[in-house]
């Protein structure tokens, strides 16, 4: 049996035993989500059709525990793995708890969180994208580390995070730092601040990641959304820099509820500059529909078209491999069930 799967099975068994043994001593929650789709992608004239995972939301299995320590102080731990639902394997990162593994202390002044977690700059890419940075229509298809080796576009290892408490008059925020521990592309510092009131939501974030050279990778983004009830409009701005290399992008998105369903659409443009990359731009247009069979089960479909110019080689999914200057198209139809 695959070693990773053995470890995963053992970890789940141990966590289940812990849930049983500690049920009367702490507030323990177990949850999960599986998302499987049939996906077809064509890039540079080469097509591939596959059963895939994470077309609308990321599949996950998680365990969370909290303990009241008294005097307004609480402790908690969070473990969350990423199963590849179509094969039964684990996400190929080599990390059992790929999505999150943290321990926290909560006070009236906020939360101190230690461990592997999503980082501040990723949140805007997901929150202000109609496709939540998942699937063939994701805004993340045009996000790049500019060849810097930075491994912090989504999550950060060895992170120390501080999160503002709730009920701050609409304000929310997070600060996160990580030493890298010998891995240059994991040395991270970032922050996010946002404000939400009524139908409005706005946030900005900035991050600085060390690299194997003396030049850091920098990422800054901002998002704005307005929910009018009949439709929710979103604007996402993103900028990356690594020395002379830069990329800026903007995306306009919308979601429209229709009965039990939701229409999603977005258009995104990425502009490259510096070191002879000025012509390496890209555009992506995506359209999707979600039909909710219940609060926990949904059917969905998404179509995306991405065009590259110059030496740009973005694509909407894998396989096939990227091709400089080529178009990439993808369609997926899937089922999502949460429990």
CB atoms under 10 Å from CB of 180, counted, come to 17
Beta-carbon neighbour count of residue 68 at 10 Å?
12
Q: What is the pLDDT of residue 179?
A: 96
**Run of H or E including 190:** strand 188-197
pLDDT of residue 82: 98
Residue 51: strand, helix, or coil? strand
Report the C-alpha gap between 223 and 74 in whole angstroms.
32
Q: How many Å apart are CA 271 and CA 31, to the nearest integer?
A: 40
- The whole-angstrom separation of Cα 320 and Cα 179 is 35
pTM: 0.91
Tell how far CA 173 is from the center of its chain: 17
**pLDDT value for 1:** 45
What's the pLDDT at 8?
54
As a whole number of angstroms, the distance between CA 256 and CA 121 comes to 26
Token digits for 172? 């929310």
Buried b (16+ CB within 10 A) or exposed e, 95-107: bbbbbbbbebebe
CATH superfamily of 3-338: Porin (2.40.160.10)
Q: What does each of the 339 residues of the chain score in pLDDT, given as a tens digit?
A: 455 555 555 555 555 554 444 444 668 999 999 999 999 999 999 999 999 999 999 999 999 999 999 999 999 999 999 999 999 999 999 999 999 999 999 999 999 999 999 999 999 999 999 999 999 999 999 999 999 999 999 999 999 999 999 999 999 999 999 999 999 899 999 999 999 999 999 999 999 999 999 999 999 999 999 999 999 999 999 999 999 999 999 999 999 999 999 999 999 999 999 999 999 999 999 999 999 999 999 999 999 999 999 999 999 998 999 999 999 999 999 999 999
Torsional sign, CA 330, 36, 80, 91: negative
Torsion of CA 155, 183, 163, 96, to 10 degrees: 50
Give pLDDT, residue 2: 52
Distant-in-sequence, close-in-space partners of 289: CB < 8 Å, separation ≥ 6: 261, 262, 263, 264, 300, 301, 302
Question: Which 3 state secondary structure label does DSSP give 309?
Answer: coil
Predicted local distance difference test score (pLDDT) of residue 27? 81
> ∠ CA 310-302-92 to the nearest 5 degrees?
75
Helices (H), the chain: 3-22, 120-127
């Amino acid at each position: 049996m695959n070693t990773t799967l053995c470890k995963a099975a053992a970890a789940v068994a141990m966590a289940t035993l812990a849930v049983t043994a500690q049920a009367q001593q702490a507030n323990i929650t177990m949850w999960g989500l599986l998302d499987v789709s049939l996906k077809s992608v064509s890039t540079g004239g080469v097509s591939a059709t596959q059963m895939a995972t994470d077309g609308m939301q990321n599949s996950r299995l998680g365990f969370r525990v909290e303990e009241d320590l008294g005097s307004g102080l609480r402790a908690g731990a969070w473990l969350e793995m990423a199963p590849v639902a179509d094969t039964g394997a684990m996400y190929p990162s080599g990390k059992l708890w790929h999505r999150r593994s943290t321990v926290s202390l909560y006070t009236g002044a906020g939360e101190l969180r230690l461990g592997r977690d999503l980082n501040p700059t990723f949140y805007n890419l997901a929150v202000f994208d109609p496709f939540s940075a998942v699937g063939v229509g994701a805004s993340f298809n045009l996000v790049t580390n500019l060849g810097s080796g930075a491994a912090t576009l989504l999550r950060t290892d060895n992170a120390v995070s501080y999160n503002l408490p709730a009920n701050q008059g609409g304000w929310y925020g997070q600060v996160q730092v990580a030493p890298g521990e010998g891995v240059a592309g994991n040395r991270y510092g970032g922050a996010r601040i946002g404000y939400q009131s009524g139908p409005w939501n706005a946030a900005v974030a900035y991050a600085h990641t060390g690299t194997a050279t003396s030049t850091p990778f920098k990422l800054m983004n901002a998002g704005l959304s307005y929910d009018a009830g009949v439709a929710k409009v979103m604007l996402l701005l993103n900028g990356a820099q690594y020395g002379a290399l830069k990329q800026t992008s903007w995306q306009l998105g919308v979601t429209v509820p229709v009965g039990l369903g939701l229409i999603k659409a977005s258009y995104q443009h990425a502009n490259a500059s510096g070191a002879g990359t000025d012509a390496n731009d890209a555009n992506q247009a995506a359209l999707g529909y979600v039909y909710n069979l219940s609060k926990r089960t949904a059917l969905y479909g998404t179509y995306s078209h991405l065009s590259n110019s110059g030496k740009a080689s973005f694509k909407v999914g894998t396989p096939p491999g990227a091709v400089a200057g080529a178009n990439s198209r993808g369609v997926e139809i899937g089922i999502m069930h949460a429990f």
